[in-house]
Amino acid sequence: MRITFLGTSSGKASLKRFHSSLFISTVNYNLLVDAGDGISRALLNNKIDFNSINGIIITHLHADHFSGLASLITQMKLTNRTSQLEIFVHESILQSIKEFLLRSYLIPERMKFKIKYEPFTDNKRNKISERFFFSAKKNSHFEDIKKYSTKYPDLILYSASLLFEWGKKKIVYTSDIGSVNDLFLFKRIHPDIFICEATHISTETLVKKIKLVDPGSTYLTHYNDEDKKHISEILAREATKNLQKIFIAEDSLSFEL
């Protein structure tokens, strides 16, 4: 398995980096995790063929995590894709994704490939391919906008954190979260790789709490350009203590697991 950080920026646009997205490649399946604004250019930047992607999973409906989906599928259409594309989304946002693509004029009858939607629910192990599985748990990322639900009843307040399993290897991806409690959604799991966002919780707090997660290695992503120096300084101090393997992820960072 190879993990590539296509983008590591937060929701704040950057001239230097793309929005948060992962590319997970196994022997027989290539999975794109989130597809925010600019995802097509991020893939080109990493020399990844659009049509090599077998499936896409969307964690939530913030623009920096899903708004590039229609543009990416358009690129697949323009490059004459014929193989089926799987889209994994929580059942609560399935209809929103379907309508978004249709209203982007991605009409099924006008495409040479089929989009197969794979709705998932929380706390269920889902098969991606042979030896490759994922589970989802709802995090508290949207907790602060619940108060608007009465005025805007069509709001779907779902955001997923994910556990990927490939053979005996385990990777936790927090995506965007709302509190430190979201770091511990997958209890009793000590992941080989812990990929954690670094915008909504202070780096100082993350360093303390990640010790309790006890991962093999941690990669911090989804951070603002102006915060990178501060994060790097804290991680450098941590490294001198030789207590934790915590790294700041950069765009195009890629490694084998």
**What pLDDT does 237 receive?**
83
Q: Three-state DSSP class for 8? A: coil
CB environment 132-168: b (16+ within 10 A), e (fewer): bebbbebbbbbeeeeeeeeeeeeeebbbbbbbbbbee
pLDDT value for 134? 98
pLDDT number for residue 82 = 98
Distance, in Å, from the CA atom of 66 to the CA atom of 175, rounded to the nearest integer, reads: 12
Which residues neighbour 19 within 8 Å (Cβ) at sequence distance 6 or greater?
Answer: 7, 9, 10, 11, 13, 34, 36, 37, 38, 39, 42, 64, 65, 68
Distance CA 162, CA 94 (A): 17
Residues 55, 26: contact at Cβ < 8 Å? no
Rounded to two decimals, what is the model's pTM? 0.96
According to the model, what pLDDT value does residue 243 have?
60
- Nearest Cα neighbor of 19 from 227, 231, 223, 255 is 223
For the domain made up of 2-256, the CATH class stated in words is alpha beta
Residues 225/16, Cβ–Cβ less than 8 Å: yes
Bridge pairing between strands 115-120 and 85-90 = parallel
The C-alpha atoms of residue 218 and residue 116 are separated, in whole angstroms, by: 33
**Per-block average pLDDT, block size 10, for the chain (257 residues)?**
97 96 97 98 98 98 98 98 98 98 97 98 97 98 95 95 97 97 94 96 92 94 95 83 82 97
Tokens 């093999």 sit on residue: 216
